Amino acid sequence: MPEQPRREDLERPTLIELSEARAALPREIAPMRPRLAAEPFNSPDWLFELKWDGIRALLYADRGTVRLTDRHGGDLLTLVPELRDVRIPDGTLLDGEIIVCDGRGRPSYELLAARVGPKAARRGRGPYFVAFDLLYQEHRSLLGRPLADRRQRLAKGPFEGRRVLVPEHLEADGEPFFDVVAEYGLEGIVAKRREGRYVPGTRSSDWLKCFVTPRADVVMGALTIDGDRGAREILCGTVAEDGSLVYAGDAYVPPYLGTWLERSTRDFGSDASPFAGPLSLRAGLRWLQPRLVAIVEHAGEPGALAEARFRALRFDGRLDDCRADAPVPVPSGPPSGRSERPRLVVLHSLPL
């Protein structure tokens, strides 16, 4: 006669590590996003990575199917069909960015954006998917694990082919890393708290971005049009807490983009100002519906543009992205003294 289980065994609970439980990948997930740092800093509690001048994306591999979506869940494989054939292990979800690089291996949003539109100019090197975080592995969620553990798992791969890149990161030395990034003409760096968990959909101070040249996403509220060169200036807005559009300043449009921008925005014309407060009229003014997001570089404080210059349309942008962000200060200590390491991280990360 088989031995009967003891009563104490029946009453003993079975412990399950929920973070290790297998599950189907989520259909979509909103990526975690950084806030703005007041300035670069050094700290052993943080890891530092390159900031990639591309489109934020999520790469899924589930039951033999690969999906690539933007931060709002839209399909990106139509934009970069070269990534249809990437091979990553089943049950994997990667957070990263799509980039196209210039001849020196530097990511360029302009080269990537040139793929959109009737001409579909496919210039530059790439596209590549830069994987900087591992959210699911073997259908198991890693969202609750520390960043340092997720990065360690990510570095082990394996990711076949040349289209998926896993960049290196730097520990502790944010200031010298930022200096090298500026020297190479790159966008900036991102600092991430090494013990931080991944919280989807949040704009978190556990991730902080530092730009070499300050830039912002702004709502295009109007253009000034010159008959000879097209758009001359953009009237830029930021979204206030109550949802209204606040005028933030003008951004200069380079002459070589003036005609293209004027034509590209004709379908978004409006009879009235989208801004909450009154603005003085000026020659060649064309109001726009507040639906287009632009990337501008500037020399001012967040929310107050100075010497701003139009770079590109943010075709995956949303109005909610265009909010002024108060910079987050972080105490900085001395660098570790490993002066060669920041440069090596840059060189090993770029697809040279």
296-318 residue pLDDT tens: 999 977 657 899 999 999 988 89
From 51, 119, 156, 192, active-site residue: 51
275: in domain: yes
Domain boundary among 193, 212, 231: 212
* pLDDT given at position 19: 47
Is 190 found in the same domain as 227? no
- The half-sphere exposure of 49 on its side-chain side, counting CA atoms within 13 A, is 22
pLDDT, average across residues 88-113? 94
* Token pair in block for residue 164: 């998926």
329: in domain: no
Give the rounded percent of residues in the chain with a pLDDT score beyond 90.
Answer: 76
CATH code of residue 268: 2.40.50.140
122: in domain: yes
Our count of domains for the chain comes to: 2
Is 224 found in the same domain as 150? no
Is 187 found in the same domain as 79? yes
Does residue 121 carry a pLDDT above 80?
no
Is 240 found in the same domain as 180? no
Is 164 found in the same domain as 179? yes
Is 251 found in the same domain as 197? no
CATH code of residue 32: 3.30.470.30
Told to judge if 51 belongs to the known catalytic residues of this protein, a careful annotator would answer yes
339: in domain: no
Q: What's the pLDDT band for 159 if we cut at 50, 70, 90?
A: confident
- Cβ contacts of residue 65 below 8 Å, gap of 6+? none
* pLDDT given at position 339: 80
Average pLDDT, the chain: 90
15: in domain: no
* pLDDT given at position 117: 54
Beta bridge partners of 133: 95
Domain boundary among 177, 194, 212: 212
289: in domain: yes
Q: What's the pLDDT band for 134 if we cut at 50, 70, 90?
A: very high
pLDDT, average across residues 108-134? 84
- pLDDT higher at 154 or 3: 154
Q: No. of H helices and E strands in the chain? A: 6, 17
Per DSSP, 154 falls in state H
pLDDT, average across residues 5-17? 44
- Cβ contacts of residue 189 below 8 Å, gap of 6+? 40, 48, 49, 50, 51, 174, 177, 178, 181, 209, 210
Domain boundary among 212, 228, 246: 212
Query: 204-208, 257-261, 297-301: lowest mean pLDDT where?
Result: 297-301
348: in domain: no
Is 31 found in the same domain as 114? yes
Is 207 found in the same domain as 74? yes
Q: How far apart are CA 184 and CA 104, in angstroms?
A: 10
Is 227 found in the same domain as 172? no
Is 150 found in the same domain as 39? yes
pLDDT, average across residues 116-126? 71
Is 266 found in the same domain as 227? yes
Is 315 found in the same domain as 171? no
53: in domain: yes
- Cβ contacts of residue 39 below 8 Å, gap of 6+? 210, 327, 329, 332
Per DSSP, 18 falls in state G
Alpha-carbon distances, residue 84 vs 128, 214, 257, 326 (angstroms): 11, 34, 31, 39
Q: What's the pLDDT band for 13 if we cut at 50, 70, 90?
A: very low
* pLDDT given at position 23: 65
* pLDDT given at position 22: 62
Q: What's the pLDDT band for 29 if we cut at 50, 70, 90?
A: very high
Q: Which domain holds residue 241?
A: 215-321
